Amino acid sequence: MDDYKQILIYVLGFIWILFSSKYFANFFQKIKFPLITGFLVTGIVCGPHVLNLIETEALEKLGFINDISLAFIAFAAGSELYLKDIRSRIRSIIWNTIGQLVATFVVSTVAVYFLASYIPFMQNMTTGVKLAVAILVATIFIARSPSSAIAVISEMRAKGPFTQTAMGVTVIIDVLVIVLFTICFSIAVTIVSGVAFNLSSFFILLLDLALAIGLGYLLGKVISGILALPIRILLKTLIILALGYGTFVLSHFIREVNVESLQFKLHLEPLLICIVASFSVTNYSKYRAEFRKILHDTGPLIYVAFFTLIGAMLSIDILVEVWFIALILFVVRLLAMIIGAYTGTVMAGDPAIFKRFGWMPYVTQAGVSLGLVTEIAGEFDGWGAEFATIIIAVVVLNQFVGPPLFKWAISRIGEAHVRAETPKFDGTRDAIIFGFEDQSLALARQLQKHNWGVKIASLKTMDEVTEASDVYIEFIDSLTLNTLKNIDAMKAEAIVLMLSDKENAIICELVYEHIGTREIIVRLNDRANFNRFHELGALIMEPSTAMVGLLDHLVRAPMATTMLLGMDEDHDTEDIEVLDRSIHGMALRDLRLPTDILILSVQRKGHMVVTHGYTRLRIGDIITVIGSDESLEELRLKFEV
């Protein structure tokens, strides 16, 4: 009972440390360091080697958090391997995977073996044990980071064959590395324990793999059954994490119990069980979306706990002693990846430019790598801690170097689709409406009443358009970047898309990537296309739901709604950007505003600011105000000039 009380105390103390870890990680991210670095640094500082807020005894008692995290990391890795996503580039993915796997394993094994005399804990090892350590290091060096790759691809909005290949290889390698680790780990345990690896050992290894894969398949079926239950998603999450932890409990139990009737011990790799289960749910069940949502929502909490705990386990004195070896191993891994990428791209027949940049997407390492490190550190008491310290140092270096290299490679190959810089305000408020119809005409006239310069871009011919002498109509014959430039789209403060969803998407992509107009308004025709426009930062108006929402507000708050919609003849609302540098830094209470002006909100860098009298304005802020037409015009002159 006392033991459980002590564990509870350690858990509560660790939770408080996690709040600090999250805060410091966000700080590190602001100064362009990887998020994982903040977690590791917090763990190091709070660990037994610095402040001792996490004692050595606490690390042992909190081992179950490590197991839960490792199970989750395996689930996350398996969920990324969705077979339908990699079919289009399967040849390139297969050859690049083979190239990366073989080159990294062979080069790293040879390098570590011959560097053994320079690595403190390996100097007095026998030849066989040195080889065992070398293959373990090589296996970890193969591991990649799908989550980091996805983050870079999302940030760059990368699309194309290079990106598809990189993502496919990253995901497949993270699955294969677990299988390879199971094999190498069993071989290493056999060698280190002094038992010769013979034919019977090989058959035991095959049995071990088969049992792990079979249990993984059964676990996948159980998880699918849980996802099918009509219970809260939080409860499903807790059950799935408990099942993952259960695989580690089972594995630990089997390792400790000698199966005397069979005269051998099974290893039963829990990471392999979890990754097979996740692969099964992702590819062969109808619950893939819900499973991925659970993993996505739970990930931040798991990662902060896992990486903070890893940091606390690091030995600073060992790190200071071996930093140069870690740097050499980092270079060895880069060299191995360059060889693997060149070989893979040649065999796959990829474009020549892929040979130069093909290794850059695979530098980053994270969860799976550190998961394998902790398993090794826990198994080999004599040198496990020193091994872990060196490899974690290499992983941290890869975290620093990897993402920038991947971004640079995507840009050089031309598959980046980032948003163009927003054009500067030229003093005239312009809008372009794509699509000629009654609604676009009415909108154009309404904007003109508020002193906007408006033009309608129409794909119709002049004969198909009814006369509208009060609105300027630009006739276009295609939806290309040159067309947008010819109608001065880069000068527009707002672009309204009222064509078909397919045509709207073409314009939206072009504007996002090449022009950068901040306000893109889309009239949606099919709800299924919502996410496509949302990812491009467009303001989406769906007619059916917009009408219901409008009627709802008119019923519940008629006065406020009529004012916001401009239905009140005396008042109107408007967004005004702060461009006058003399206003920068002024508090709202110090502004001399017309008496009928009311400030509703302030938006800064895409985020709403909770306003009060002491809120200070910044250049680029968007303030939403309500007032008379005369007062709004006065405010525009004051803020935008």
Q: What is the mean pLDDT of the chain?
A: 83
Q: How confident is the model at residue 567 (pLDDT cuts 50, 70, 90)?
A: low
pLDDT at 577 over 50: yes
Cα–Cα nearest to 310, from 109, 125, 59, 584: 59
- Average confidence (pLDDT) over 524-529: 83
Cβ neighbours around 118 below 10 Å, total = 12
* Apex 523 CA angle, 522 and 527, nearest 5: 100
| Residue whose tokens read 């990846």 | 337
d(CA 69, CA 439): 54
Which CATH number describes the domain made up of 569-640?
Answer: 3.30.70.1450
Q: Is residue 53 within a helix (H) or strand (E), and if so which, with residue range?
A: none
Residue 2: what pLDDT?
56
- Average confidence (pLDDT) over 540-550: 77
Residue 138: what pLDDT?
93
Q: How confident is the model at residue 629 (pLDDT cuts 50, 70, 90)?
A: confident
Which CATH class, in words, describes the domain spanning 430-541? alpha beta
Residue 223: what pLDDT?
94
Of 411 and 241, the one with more pLDDT: 241
pLDDT tens-digit map of 88-133 = 778 888 899 999 999 999 999 999 999 998 888 888 888 888 999 9
For the chain, which residues make up each domain, given as ranges?
2-413, 430-541, 569-640
Residue 129: φ, ψ to 5°: -70, -40
pLDDT at 11 over 90: no
- CA torsion 209→215→221→226, rounded to 10°? -130
- Average confidence (pLDDT) over 7-16: 83
d(CA 216, CA 185): 19
Q: How confident is the model at residue 226 (pLDDT cuts 50, 70, 90)?
A: very high
pLDDT tens-digit map of 130-175 = 999 999 999 999 988 777 777 677 767 777 888 888 888 888 888 8
Instruction: Please give the model's pTM, rounded to 2 decimal places.
Output: 0.71
Cβ neighbours around 510 below 10 Å, total = 18
Most confident option among 243-247, 298-302, 558-562: 243-247
Q: How confident is the model at residue 225 (pLDDT cuts 50, 70, 90)?
A: very high
Residue 570: what pLDDT?
67
Burial class (CB in 10 A: 0-12, 13-18, 19+), 2: exposed
Reduced to 3 states (helix: H, G, I; strand: E, B; else coil), residue 259 is strand
Q: Is residue 389 within a helix (H) or strand (E), and if so which, with residue range?
A: helix 384-413
Residue 305 and residue 65 in contact, taking contact as beta carbons nearer than 8 Å: yes
Which CATH class, in words, describes the domain spanning 2-413? mainly alpha
pLDDT tens-digit map of 389-447 = 888 888 888 877 888 888 888 888 888 877 777 777 766 788 899 988 888 888 888 88
Residue 157: what pLDDT?
77
